[in-house]
A and B are shown apart, each in its own frame.
Chain A
Amino acid sequence: MKYMLLINSPATPQDEPDPEAASFEEWVTYDKSVRESGVHVSGHSLADLTTATVVRVNASGERAVTDGPFAETREVLGGYYVIDVPDLDVALDWAARCPGARGRGSVVVRPIADFD
């Protein structure tokens, strides 16, 4: 069973860093354990939100491209993993070990839909 772990961090200004945020070394250690345990399917961290672009297509097929989204988001998706584990409890264990779950961060665990 595949689950996506969506790693969210609070949308805080640069001058107000989360004091409980994990260190770079902790992320490296976690990433290594996900890969070496055999549950890893895929995963990436995302570039800063200021680099994001939104695309919408209206009913007549016109493309609207805008900068963002920024202002209204309180939590920012910073990265994800897709893992393959037997059940939700195991997925929750991996989420709880993720450095992104600490401090003001959170990890949302979502099953990957299976259309077979």
Chain B
Amino acid sequence: MTAVVGEDPMDATGPVEEVGTSVEAVFREERGRLLAALVRRFGDLDLAEEVASEAIEAALVHWPAGGVPSKPGAWLLTTARRKAVDRLRRDRAYAARLAVLQVEADRAAPAPAADAGEELPDERLQLFFTCAHPALPAEDRIALTLRCLAGRTTPEVARALLLPPATMAKRIVRAKKKIREARIPFRVPGADELPDRLPGVLQVIYSIYTEGYAASSGPGLLRVDVAEEAIRLARILRRLLPGEREVAGLLGLMLLTHARRAARIGPGGELVLLGDQDRALWDRPMIEEGQALVVTALTGGSPGPYGVQAAIAALHDEAPDWPATDWPQIVALYDVLLALAPSPVVALNRAVAVAMRDGPEAGLALLDELAGEQRLRGYHPYALARADLLRRLGRRDQAAAAYREALATAGTEPERAHLRRRLRSCE
């Protein structure tokens, strides 16, 4: 951006030719901030969304003609605030209700001092906690976070979550209605509440990531844009909560997994499992960034589940190949993870690591112990893990039966193609 003339954010000074390419990027980045600042000011998500959209529309009209203002975020906020005030002048009943909300919000939390260096104060942390509030259904938390914090439109959120737009629209309306009518507050939980509330926010971001990484159904195996949206959200959260080690752990876990994306899909669109991946295709700078985050996540206290999972991902990323992976260390980390967050899925992954450390027989014995677990019923990675170990033991008939079982429940086409190839090798 060129020289800044005057302090009024409405004063447009930027070069006109940049508008065409920068508008989308500016809005994606600024929309969440804008929305959060407006929610902070007016205490109402609907009004904030309405005037944020109007301000963006106004920018689309004015910026191509007059140039991008020196402080686009401040321009948008000023414009949106004016539109909100106009709206409240027209609708007195609405204004009266909001005034009550505002008085109570002010009483609950004094406004933070404005940061002189910021053109738009960053109020997104409270929006993260509201969107991930435990009083909302889990699927609504994901949808709201994508919409309010990732700056996605409802049709985009629907596409990201592979749902019809009408279903998504209903879900977002339902969530906003509960926020408004049950008065879920826009506030950052106190230090004493954070251990209870932060995992919910992290869970939402990780769910968005896994939604993109292992699409649970449909032809595409990897929707990079959805996974990268989750990484972007985690980066924002990390800036907002730099002292929280589990935020570092989550970001590290996602980076260390996402670094393998190019190797995960073969030339024919087929799934390539970790053991068979061409490690030269892995994104080394992303791995290095992830490794540094693992150190942060595991330093200065007992580790959290995301930090431990990130450490496991880092050991895979550091290994020259699958057999030479540090399996004893990975088994030890799974033991820690099982103690922190017991789950049959973690026990399954541990059994696979034990099979690599001690041989397929040992792994299979652990898998068979898990046979009764309700959560593993119809979970195709379980059948796949059993099938692979049976194949390695030369028990081809049993392996073929297990591959068929996995095929019956696997969701994406590339995963199914992989299973069919394995099945043919046993028949």
Chain A contact residues, CB within 8 Å of chain B: 1, 86-89, 92, 111
Contacts and interface: CB of A to CB of B under 8 A. Distances in A.
Contacts of A86: 104, 107-108, 183, 185
A49 B107 CA distance: 42
Say what secondary structure dominates the interface of chain B: loop
Contacts of B184: 87-89
Contacts of A88: 133, 135, 182-185
Interface string B177-215: 000011111010100000000000000000000000000
A111 B179 CA distance: 11
6 contacts: A86-B104, A86-B107, A86-B108, A87-B184, A87-B185, A89-B187
The 9 A-B residue pairs with the shortest CB-CB distance in the complex, in nearest-first order: A87-B185, A87-B183, A86-B104, A111-B182, A88-B184, A88-B182, A1-B183, A89-B185, A88-B183
A92 B135 contact: yes
A111 B183 contact: yes
Interface in B89-116: 104, 107-108
Say what secondary structure dominates the interface of chain A: mixed
A111 B177 CA distance: 12
Given A1-B104, A87-B104, A88-B133, 15 more contacts: A1-B183, A86-B104, A86-B107, A86-B108, A87-B108, A87-B183, A87-B184, A88-B135, A88-B182, A88-B183, A88-B185, A89-B187, A92-B135, A111-B182, A111-B183
Nearest to B184: A88
A88 B134 CA distance: 11
Nearest to B135: A88
Contacts of B182: 88, 111
A89 B193 CA distance: 11
Q: Which of A1, A87, A92 has the most CB of B within 10 A?
A: A87
Interface in B128-180: 133, 135
Contacts of B104: 1, 86-87
Q: Which of A86, A92, A111 has the most CB of B within 10 A?
A: A86
B216 to A, nearest CB: 31
